[in-house]
Amino acid sequence: MSSNEAIDYAKKNGATFVAELKDLLRIPSISTTPERVGDVRRAAEFVAEGLRSAGMENVRLIETTTQQRKGHPLVYADWLNAPGRPTVLCYGHYDVQPPDPLDEWKSPPFEPDERDGNIYARGAVDDKGQMWMHVKALESLLKTDGKLPVNIRVIVEGEEEVGGEGIAAFVREHGDQLQADAALVSDTEMFAPDLPTLCVGLRGMIYTELEVRGAAQDLHSGMYGGAAPNPFVALAQMIARLKREDGRIAIPGFYDGIEEPTKAELEAWRSLPFDEEHYRKTEVGSTELTGEEMFSVLERTWSRPTMDVHGMPGGFIGAGAKTVIPAKALAKISFRLVPGMKPEETFAKYKAFVEEVCPKGVQVDVRMIHSGEPIVVSTDNEYIRAAQQAMAQVFGKETVFVRGGGSIPIVGDFVRELGIPTVMMGFGLPDDNLHAPNEKFHIANFHRGIESIIRFFEIVGQSA
């Protein structure tokens, strides 16, 4: 069977694959930072070149534009020479999150460093390393067999970490160019080391900014304190109204229409190997876990909506002390949404509530930065079964189903706009530090990922 040859090829060339990945990780393709626009494009070109030398066809960059600005390019490739066989759409993203706080990294974020079987770098697992597995699985098949067992389209975006508007517009306008029978996404996690995992649900999100204005300009806090409104205090008061101490969000109607997980799903979650105390200590590292106590931690992070504050820029944040009443203050606030919730409706309820509780003397502007819909995928299809089987073969264990608390905005569009089954086969580990200092990818999982993907394509091809 050709997959054996492809797997041998992947094993023989494993070290080269890792070296190439490190070259990609050296490119600081931070999609949210305007100064990095050239680096983001360089990463896109690197991925395009990788697809080309893997033997993929019609490789090109697709420019994206959204309302306000020119976006980062998409990378497209295909190989459609298996008539009668299904077409799989491979998705990944080559953009990364900002690396700060820099001084908490043990090695610099864009100088990949290998330690104890891991590659440390921003983007190692989210998602350059996982996206590269797709490219290398395709290369392994094409270089050994000269063909693929299925038809393949590849779409890799450079704006996932900023909401993925460009790819969403492309799917809406040119969905036909991505026509496929199923999508394969490798941008999620395994539930535990060595436990093959398929992710079958993601939370959606709205990412917002609250801007509060008080005085016409910054003021001396001794001269005016007591009489002039302080926008940070106002912000703190408004934020405190959003979430109750028991973790419940206090926006009227916020929970309306939420779809609960099925009994069977909850049952399956209860049998996952989850140690709450270990999670608290080693992953979270706090003295206590917080949130809605009547829900398990897995429910709280997978099937319950929530609110978080990411930062409050403004005022004086330098070393030392400055006695000022800032004229304005900002808070970056996001909500994670679960099935049954609509981003626009949630935003409208939130905006109305914030405007209602806004203290006197200040004005609040509630802005949406980006949003994405929650999603649960059906598990009753041949693609999920093929993925389950492929991973079980590689790991020698039964594949489990989980949800992810994170969001991948375009996955909802694959399901809704393209109407195709989506397989989220992820190889990250719970302690891979996504979005945090010392992000890593376990190198063994990189190789097992490539093998799982090769096998997945083979199984899908055989079932045709």
Q: Cβ neighbours of residue 436 under 8 Å, at least 6 residues apart?
A: none
- Tell me the site size for Mn ion, rule CB under 5 A: 3
The residues that bridge with 151 in the sheet, in sequence order, are: 87
- The option from Mn ion, ligand BES, none interacting with 409 (CB < 5 to 8 A, set by class) reads ligand BES
Distance of closest approach, residue 95 Cβ to ligand BES, in angstroms:
9
The nearer residue to ligand BES, 113 or 187, going by C-beta atoms, is 187
For the residues of 179-211, what is the DSSP string, one character each? --SEEEE--SB-SSTT--EEEEEE-EEEEEEEE
Both tokens assigned to 334:
């996001």
Q: Give the residue carrying structure tokens 């990463």.
A: 43
Q: How far is 336 from 205, CA to CA, in rounded Å?
A: 4
How many Cα atoms within 13 Å fall on the side-chain side of residue 138? Answer: 26
DSSP category for residue 151: E
For residue 78, the partner it binds in Mn ion, ligand BES, none, with Cβ less than 5 to 8 A by kind, is none
Per DSSP, helices labelled H in 108-230 are 129-145, 165-174, 221-224
C-beta of 309: minimal distance to ligand BES in Å? 14
Q: What share of the chain is helix, strand, coil (3-state, %, to 5)?
A: 40, 25, 40
- Find the shortest distance in angstroms from Cβ 283 to ligand BES: 12
* DSSP single-letter state for residue 252: T
Minimum CB separation from ligand BES for residue 252, in Å?
Answer: 26
Q: Closest Cα partner for 276 from 261, 293, 296, 306? A: 296
Which residue do the tokens 């770098």 mark? 121
- Among ligand BES, Mn ion, none, residue 372 binds (CB under 5-8 Å by kind): ligand BES
Cα–Cα distance measured from residue 135 to residue 4, given in angstroms and rounded to the nearest whole number: 18
Spell out, one character per residue from 149 to 188, where the chain touches Mn ion: x when CB under 5 A holds, - when not.
--------------------------------------x-
HSE-up (13 A, CA, CB side) for residue 384: 17
Q: Select from ligand BES, Mn ion, none the partner in contact with residue 113, using the beta carbon and a kind-dependent cut-off of 5 to 8 Å.
A: none
Shortest Cβ distance from residue 321 to ligand BES (Å)? 34
Distance CA(391)–CA(397), nearest Å, equals: 8
| Cβ proximity to ligand BES, 7 vs 411, nearer residue | 411
Question: For residues 213 and 332, which CB has a smaller minimum distance to Mn ion in the complex?
Answer: 332
Tokens (6 digits) for 43: 């990463």
Torsion of CA 35, 38, 42, 43, to 10 degrees: 30
- In angstroms, the CA 265 to CA 144 distance is 41
In whole angstroms, the minimum distance from the beta carbon of 161 to Mn ion comes to 5
Residue 151 CB, shortest distance to ligand BES, in Å, is 26
**Listed residue (211, 160, 173) closest to 370, CA to CA:** 160
Smaller CB separation from ligand BES, 87 or 118: 118
Q: How far is the CB of 286 from ligand BES (least distance, A)?
A: 19
Among 127, 157, 299, 432, the residue binding Mn ion under the rule CB under 5 A is 127
Taking a C-beta distance cutoff of 8 angstroms, is the pair 166, 72 a contact?
Answer: yes
Query: Which is closer to ligand BES, CB of 104 or CB of 308?
Result: 308
Residue 188 interacts, among Mn ion, ligand BES, none and using kind-specific CB cut-offs from 5 to 8 Å, with: ligand BES
126: contact with Mn ion by CB under 5 A: yes
CB closer to Mn ion, 129 vs 461 = 129
Residues 177-236 that bind Mn ion (CB under 5 A): 187
Give which of ligand BES, Mn ion, none residue 404 binds (C-beta under 5 to 8 Å, depending on kind). Answer: ligand BES
Task: Choose between 126 and 439: whose C-beta lies nearer to ligand BES.
Answer: 126
Distance CA 381, CA 358 (A): 49
If the CB atoms of residues 189 and 451 are measured against ligand BES, the closer one turns out to be 189
Q: Which is nearer to ligand BES, 205 or 219 (CB)?
A: 205
- Nearest approach, Cβ of 188 to Mn ion (angstroms)? 8
Residues forming contacts to ligand BES in the complex (CB under 6 A) are 126-127, 160-161, 163, 187-189, 202, 205, 370, 372, 404, 406-409, 434
Residues forming contacts to Mn ion in the complex (CB under 5 A) are 126-127, 187
